Structure 1
Amino acid sequence: MFGLFKKKSEIDQLRDQYKKLQKESFDLSKSNRSAADKKLAEAEEVFKKIEALKEKEN
């Protein structure tokens, strides 16, 4: 209950964005392969940002 108004960390926000891009890529892969590949590339860029932030924390 006390965490109700707590803001998400930057890593959590990026994870949500990554999951969203992965889902969009999967949905597009059924109809438009080139658009799906672009979404997947965007998702990989977000993943690299997540990894960089994890390294920075350690």
Structure 2
Amino acid sequence: MFGLFKKDPTAKLRKQHSALLEKAMHAQRNGDIKTYSMLTADAEALWQKIEETEKSQ
């Protein structure tokens, strides 16, 4: 009953992940491959954190 009002702990992380992927896409389209690879690596690390958080629940 009290779980009804509990926020999803990964929702904020997923939003950040999507934002990073979108920034990476725009960097790639502009030809900035270095920034694209850095943002993609950050997004991958964030995705690993999301998976770990989901497993611990």
Same-fold call, TM > 0.5? yes
Please give the alpha-carbon distance, in whole angstroms, between the structure 2 residues aligned to 1:21 and 1:15.
Answer: 10
What runs of 5+ residues in structure 2 fail to find an aligned partner? none
Q: CA deviation at 1:7?
A: 7.9
Q: Which one has the bigger helix percentage?
A: 2
Aligned length in residues: 52
Matches within 5 A, 1:45-56: 45-56=45-56
TM-score w.r.t. length of structure 2: 0.82
Q: Percent identity?
A: 23
Cα distance change of structure 1 residues 9 and 33 upon mapping to structure 2, 3 Å threshold: same
Measured on the aligned residues, the alpha-carbon RMSD in Å equals 1.6
TM-score w.r.t. length of structure 1: 0.81
